[in-house]
Structure 1
């Protein structure tokens, strides 16, 4: 059974429409976002572990159900990692609402509600981890960012502006293994040496983090299947 959420909204490009609906599957609701794309994307949304599928326009409910059911083991593992990450931080945190900066910029406002509260918690988790990352990897890479900004991003785990030295990290990294946050941080830090992803970038990444390709492969499981 499906339930439409609002109306379709226009996306980028002529004639492009994005439709959102809920698909009831095995006792839970899956958010389905239909777009003019070729691939199917599955995400487990922290911190609650809700399912979100972005799929090509015209894909049937039966195809979507088969797609999700075929990945139940992966979904279970991912939800377990998210739950463990939250538990570890909860046991270590003193629940303070301090505004902390880790060799860069991060913002924390007044006590938020709902989705904003989840975003704020994710930000605090990364803020707790950033000082150690900076201390460990800046000497290895030989570059120090001018600012580190934490924010929710829909299409990237991180980004870097070499001309300004600014690095941005996706707050959803808070719910993943520390090794994956570490990989994204080193990846963006390396862009301060090499702007693209060509041979120089790959050579430097291998020098700094020999297992970076394995970490990248693990990270990609959280975005595209």
Structure 2
């Protein structure tokens, strides 16, 4: 039921930030951070080689995003309901699914329209899961956590309660908050 899904438009061209490192000798690494492709290279790497690696890494990241898990239908339906209720159905995404997120509750790669919600969140009360979805959906419009972002998130009436609930889990209720979950 992913009616809002769409293919990535080739060629995919996120903004690129090249980060040179004195410690790095031979390896090249890339990561997508807030919609910016960061390519980490040895500081001494020549310009042409850097340009070649940018293209290689752009292709790798694009393939990873295209292989991303398909949307979890129930999570997608819930997100569509929240999109209708709080955002006037204007937001679009390619995929939304549960994933291992480590200590994070969710993530959004807004340039690719990919939202991931921690698999731990599946055990949370529905109103807390709704907050997490609203939070990540808001990132589709605002990548940062600035005032405009929080104005969108605050459309969800239980935002403050849900944030408090998540803080309680994250800070000291057992290892990872088992007592609350």
TM-score (norm 2): 0.51
For this pair of structures, how many residues does the alignment match?
A: 101
Secondary structure in structure 2 of the residue aligned to 1:222: helix
Structure 1 residues 156, 193: CA separation in 2 closer, same or farther (over 3 Å shift)?
same
CA distance in 1 between partners of 2:158 and 2:136 (Å): 16
Give per-residue Cα distances to partners, 1:179-221, cap 9 Å, x unaligned: 1111111100000111111111111112x21331221111121
Indicate whether 1:165 and 2:113 are aligned: yes
Map 1:128-167 to 2 at 5 A: 129-139=74-84, 140-141=86-87, 142-167=90-115
CA distance in 2 between partners of 1:189 and 1:218 (Å): 20
Indicate whether 1:223 and 2:167 are aligned: no
CA distance in 2 between partners of 1:131 and 1:176 (Å): 17
Map 1:2-17 to 2 at 5 A: none
Aligned to 2:70: 105
CA contact (8 A) 2:76 2:96 kept: no
Cα distance, 1:131 vs structure 2: 4.3
CA contact (8 A) 2:131 2:159 kept: yes
CA distance in 1 between partners of 2:136 and 2:156 (Å): 13
Runs of 4+ in 1 over 3 A off after TM superposition: none
Match of 2:149 among 193, 201, 208: 201
Cα distance, 1:149 vs structure 2: 2.9
CA contact (8 A) 2:75 2:97 kept: no
C-alpha RMSD of matched pairs (Å): 1.8
Aligned to 1:212: 159
Map 1:33-44 to 2 at 5 A: none
Q: Per chain length, whose mean CA-contact separation is higher, i.e. which structure has more relative contact order (CA < 8 Å, sep 6+)?
A: 2
Aligned to 2:129: 181
Structure 2 unpaired stretches of 5+: 1-68, 173-181
CA distance in 2 between partners of 1:186 and 1:224 (Å): 22
CA contact (8 A) 2:142 2:148 kept: yes
Structure 1 residues 219, 128: CA separation in 2 closer, same or farther (over 3 Å shift)?
farther
